A = this chain, B = another copy of it.
C-alpha cells in the first residue's frame, strides 16, 4: 500500500469508522475534501457544533438541542407513546404524520449475546413514564429484526400488567410490491393479518 502522510492516514482511519465507508470510499471522500478546503472546514465546524449542542432528551431520549425536545413539549396526545429503537426510527414514524402521541427511544434493542440487556436500554425510564398514569396505549415500533421482535415481546410482557394497551406495527406487503418478489414469511404474515374489504 502507498504510504500516506500521518495526518491523511488518520483522516482515512476516522472516515472508515463511518458506516458503509471502506478503504476506497474513505480515499474518495478524503480527496474530495482536500480539493474543497472550505467544505472540509465547514464539515469539521458543523461536527463540533452538533456534538456540543445536540443531547438526549431527558424525557423520551431522542436527540434534541432543547431539553425536553419538541415532541415532548409540544401539544400532543399524552395517552399514546410510540416506542422506537433509535432516534432515526422516531423520524421514520413522524414522517408519516399518522401518529400524534409521544415517543420513547430505547437507544437500541435487546441482544443478550452482545451484552445488550434491558438495563442497557431506556426501559426503566419508559416504565416510569407509564407508572405516572394517563397512558392508554403503547405502540411498539422496534425493528422487525430478531432483536427488535424480542424487544417488543419483552416490553409487552412488562407493560400489559399495568393495564396499558400494547400494540405493534402491522406486518404485511410493502406498498407497490410485486407479490412474487415478496418473501414467503412476509406473505404469510400478510395473510394472517388480512382484513375485510
Contact = CB atoms under 8 A, between A and B. Distances in A.
Contacts of A91: 2, 27
A48 interface: yes
A37 B51 contact: yes
Interface string A30-71: 111110110111111111111101100000000111100010
Interface centre among A18, A30, A94, A95 (most CB of B within 10 A): A18
A14 B42 contact: yes
A15 interface: yes
A7 B65 contact: yes
Contacts of A37: 51
A13 B70 CA distance: 21
Interface string A81-92: 000001110010
